[in-house]
Structure 1
């Protein structure tokens, strides 16, 4: 175990993560290499009455913080695939790209998100909205067991049978109930998929009309087809590819394991003049190219809204607010939910009845970002069920709207049981310090 304090060599490097918008200045950083290190860190924090946070890759930091103990898990990167059982064991610091690579030789795939650099464990604890989510459900729905260090400093092996309440809470409220050091999750037999994106120039094709066509199209597709709509006004920078520089790009992304993908996407190509079209059959190992998320650390703020239905008039107004004329660059994404995501599961992932998820990212200082985010999401309030834990990037109250009242009440009772002193409070989600 490596223990660092402010001023120590390596302290700043250990805090570095993907999200650069927040400043974290813990009194102590514990660079964990094993579950035993995490146990020691939690016991130390409890003895000193210090709040605890945990960081793997730093994509979803809850905000800035001072003092306390931060446990970093990036060195815990063990992966074990069991091809016969179609499962994989992953330690807390493993990234999704590593899991994809480990499973690919066996013709298997994990239920990973769009960015290969995101931590597999932390993403799963927040639900895990994957590339093939409408076919297979949330990643959390496929977890077999977890190893977790709870606030009492004990390492527990948690299954739906051994500890049904703790298992339920961890998968949806995650690190607020313990620091997960390892879990086993199911893999799916997918070697290739039909996927990619079709994009349009937003100054030629009205983004609101493209969204209207997209929403109508989602009502015609099978449950196994997963898709999203995005609108991004790219700056005119030499570092960007020529086909993106200075353009307002509206795109529809698709991932599907069926054989009739070309037939199903045909209406999308009729929306307007196509800027780019990358839809094709691809190895699952190339599935990250569907979204092509940025792979470099940067500052961003964002939030999300799970919607009962997609009111295209309201979201169209949001697109106009956040387009090229907005005071700062905004990225809008609309995910089609439903399908397997609506199935009940023994975990705390809420709002399964939601039909769409709207996500909005922007940059600048936090207050400047809020000036964009708050009025945008206010437009959607009448149709909003709540927010998504994995897509709340320094947006609004750290816990408001992340759970429905019934789920929140059950989580509150379990928090009192497993962490009555609220030691584990430096994480996004159920509780804050």
Structure 2
């Protein structure tokens, strides 16, 4: 087990995460390679009155990491049990490794849009992925969790345990997860990709997607992104440097071309990448940027998308918006509308989630102001927020609007029980 302190060689690299807009300065970093290392680190923190934060890939990095940081990036084990369709992974495993390992057995995990994201952080936040409308959240399929609690004990928690309930979608603040075991699904390929439409067609495409998605089968998970694409040679010439609407599709049925026909008829597509593809290529659907960068984002779940809301979205996140923002609208419903069993859940009445993600250039205050204007306009129809899509804020504020009142109260009670001294500040 290695440790790093400010000023030592390797320290900057060890604290670096995918999210680069958040400054962190932990007093000590423990580069954990095993659950025993995590136990030792938590006990050391308790003895020296240090708070404990955890980082694998740093996609969800938040402010406040100034005590002891446990880096789990070396704990990358992935084991597949084909007979029980189960994966067991270490705290630092990324979805790409699980996808590849599961595919060898004709299986797939409930991963998200990017294969570079860490499995544990994604799952503890709920896990909203490419097959969510058919199979629900990644957290709903967890079968056991190995976690080191504030007393320095390594526990294995399973369904029926109150700690298991809290960890499956309640995010962090209850301990350091060292391993997860979760179910896989028998998926080897899907119909997926995207349709890219020109700026002039944004209003028509938004309305067409809204109508189309409301009658979508559960086998379809879809979103639409309004994004200003950079003028870079790796992008197709037709969309390079343009502000576009990108309709994203992940469909488990066999009649994909028939299903998307209304979208193709809505406006001429600049680029059409829809095809049948192996699940190992599912990361190409959203093509999330692979390189670390500074970003800040929030979201709101809504009960509907009326024309006034779409107008506000175009005004605050379309071409000419004051802050360059990727605006993504996801269709909820399907399995997501069914309250999860034995886990904190979000408002099942929500039909869509609107999320804004902006690159930080001149601090986060201009972004917060721009996002506030958008979400204030959507407030009359909003039912709350989704935990997986809160970026850059301290997680202590993340419970606001993210859970039903009874779930939020239970999470607070369990936090006080399992971490009475708040050694894990991310509660």
TM-score in same-fold range (> 0.5)? yes
Separation in structure 1 between the aligned mates of residue 393 and residue 29 of structure 2, nearest angstrom:
25
Alpha-carbon distance, 1:66 to partner: 5.6
Structure 1 residue aligned with 2:182: 185
Separation in structure 2 between the aligned mates of residue 209 and residue 125 of structure 1, nearest angstrom:
37
User: 395-404 vs 81-90, which deviates more?
Assistant: 395-404
User: 400-409 vs 229-238, which deviates more?
Assistant: 229-238
Instruction: Report the secondary structure of 1:253's partner residue.
Output: strand
Structure 2 residue aligned with 1:198: 195
Instruction: Report the secondary structure of 1:172's partner residue.
Output: coil
Q: Which ranges of structure 2 fall in alignment gaps of 5 or more residues?
A: none
Structure 2 residue aligned with 1:414: 414
Contact 1:350 1:407 in 2 (8 A): no
The answer to whether the aligner puts 1:52 opposite 2:49 as a matched pair is: no
Structure 2 residue aligned with 1:11: 11
Structure 2 residue aligned with 1:138: 137
Contact 2:239 2:271 in 1 (8 A): no
Alpha-carbon distance, 1:349 to partner: 3.1
The answer to whether the aligner puts 1:230 opposite 2:225 as a matched pair is: yes
Aligned Cα RMSD in Å?
Answer: 1.5
Cα separation, partners in 2 of 1:346 and 1:297, compared to 1, 3 Å = same
Alpha-carbon distance, 1:310 to partner: 2.4
Deviations 1:254-309 (A, max 9, x none): 11111121111100001111111111111111111111111111111101112222
Alpha-carbon distance, 1:395 to partner: 4.8
Matches within 5 A, 1:358-373: 358-363=354-359, 364=361, 365-373=363-371
Instruction: Report the secondary structure of 2:169's partner residue.
Output: helix
Alpha-carbon distance, 1:67 to partner: 2.5
Runs of 4+ in 1 over 4 A off after TM superposition: 237-241, 395-398
Instruction: Report the secondary structure of 1:374's partner residue.
Output: helix
Instruction: Report the secondary structure of 2:170's partner residue.
Output: helix
Matches within 5 A, 1:9-408: 9-63=9-63, 65=64, 67-161=66-160, 163=161, 165-202=162-199, 204-205=200-201, 207-237=202-232, 240-344=235-339, 345-363=341-359, 364=361, 365-395=363-393, 397-408=397-408
Cα separation, partners in 2 of 1:263 and 1:74, compared to 1, 3 Å = same
TM-score of the pair, normalised by structure 2? 0.96
Separation in structure 2 between the aligned mates of residue 36 and residue 349 of structure 1, nearest angstrom:
32
Cα separation, partners in 2 of 1:183 and 1:289, compared to 1, 3 Å = same
Alpha-carbon distance, 1:194 to partner: 0.8
Deviations 1:309-342 (A, max 9, x none): 2234213312222222123321010010110112
TM-score of the pair, normalised by structure 1? 0.94
Contact 1:28 1:68 in 2 (8 A): yes
